[in-house]
Structure 1
Amino acid sequence: MSKYLENVKKYVDSPNENAVEALVGHLGLALESRDSAVVAATDDEELARIKTGYCSKTLDLSSEEADKALAAVCEKMKGDTAKCRVTFYYLLAEASDSMDRLAA
């Protein structure tokens, strides 16, 4: 988990460690493959899957809220060519004020 926490710290000064741990557990097998452990933010199909899956089901966001959060995270991480999925999802929760949905 420490490598994911360090990656989140590139964007957040004091991240919620419980939320990072919850995300690592939630993503599980997806983190084992390099290809699935990163988000292809330029792939509209991948962003649509994140929107209908994670944003809608886990964060309980409306379509508009999800679009706004996705745009904010893509902009924040635009300089990172390999966007860590844990960090991307963490930042989505933060951008949508949904951190409480990850960890208490």
Structure 2
Amino acid sequence: MSKRDDMIAKYAADMKEKMGVTPDMDLLTKVTIGCGPSIYNADSETVAGSDMEELERVKNNFLVKKLGLADGPQLMEAIKKVLNDYGSSNRNKYRAVIYYALTKHFGKESVYG
């Protein structure tokens, strides 16, 4: 397996363990690939759930630019819901897992079609 395949397997296991979700592996793979090289850097691989600047970047760069959603308070509410579902006690919140969950939340799987 490649390093990327290892990462995808790690994210899937994390979702099952911490969120109680069995991911759609095809979509998880596409979301992970969409994250680009950020998944190979320990700092950019995760999202700091308590850093408002970081959450704004997720909102603007992923939800608005990538998924094409209109900006509004519902976007930050969705981010906070996903972070809550992931568990506030979990130190490592993987970017690919959060992006996957947000994609599912808004029903935007077609973006990765």
TM-score range normalised by the length of the shorter chain:
0.7 to 0.9
1:58 to 1:17, Cα distance in 2 relative to 1, 3 A? same
* Structure 2 residue aligned with 1:87: 97
Residue of structure 2 equivalent to 1:23: 31
Question: How far apart are residue 24 of structure 1 and its match?
Answer: 1.5
Structure-2 separation of matches of 1:72 and 1:17: 22
Uncovered stretches (5+) of structure 1, i.e. residues with no partner: none
Matched positions, count: 103
Residues 1-104 of structure 1: pairs in structure 2 closer than 5 A: 1-10=8-17, 11-64=19-72, 65-77=74-86, 78-102=88-112, 104=113
Higher RCO, 1 vs 2 (CA within 8 Å, ≥6 residues apart): 1
Residue deviations 1:54-90 (CA, integer Å, cap 9, x gap): 0111112222232221121122122311101111111
Identity %: 24
Name structure 2 gaps, 5 residues minimum. 1-7
Q: Which has the larger radius of gyration?
A: 2
Superposed structure 1 runs of 4+ greater than 6 Å apart: none
